[in-house]
Structure 1
């Protein structure tokens, strides 16, 4: 299965060209490695970048391919926000951090 998805980079390693991406559907995280990208299409990703990508599910792993940066620095505090919220102590939706709609490109 392959779908297009928006996501925010949670972690990126420029030296290894790898990234972990939080997907807009709040499902499992997606993983990116430059080995899955065209050599000329590699991006320098940073935590907080909004990207659009093709999502492919392989067994129990979601893989991101064909990344396109939509907005660099879209959510610079996202990692901090997720760390400080921790597990929900109230309703099941109490731990959801929404993607900001105002800056998301169509």
Structure 2
């Protein structure tokens, strides 16, 4: 599975990862599962990992960084999308607002060529 690190704590070696399958977030707890050669994970890193489901949570096992900082803008974009929107002067009827979503492109901003990988937040 591929994913992007949204949050990490380098002291406790923990991370929260947004998964390419758009399912629930995956949690990495390196304090108990750290291989000797693990690298520090930082927000925005593209990582590959094994996904393990335990009870109602998903865990990232054996993460491996594919590219450091590849999506460094993504955590900020998600926070901005979740921020309360300024109300319009005339509010649309509730029925008109149903079915809308903010779409956040999952593309690198530092490259000139288009990325073939994209994730959409619906």
Could you tell me the TM-score, scaled by structure 2's length? Answer: 0.70
Q: Does 1:36 align with 2:33?
A: yes
Partner of 1:95: 102
Q: CA RMSD in A?
A: 2.1
State the structure with bigger RCO (CA 8 A, min sep 6), 1 or 2: 1
Q: Which structure has the larger Rg?
A: 2
The structure richer in strand per residue is 1
> Across the two proteins, how many residue pairs are aligned to each other?
97
Unpaired runs of 5+ in structure 2?
A: 84-96, 108-113, 118-122
Unpaired runs of 5+ in structure 1?
A: none
Once the two structures are TM-superposed, the CA of residue 90 in structure 1 deviates from its matched residue by 5.9
Partner of 1:27: 23
* CA distance in structure 2 between the partners assigned to 1:95 and 1:30 by the alignment: 22
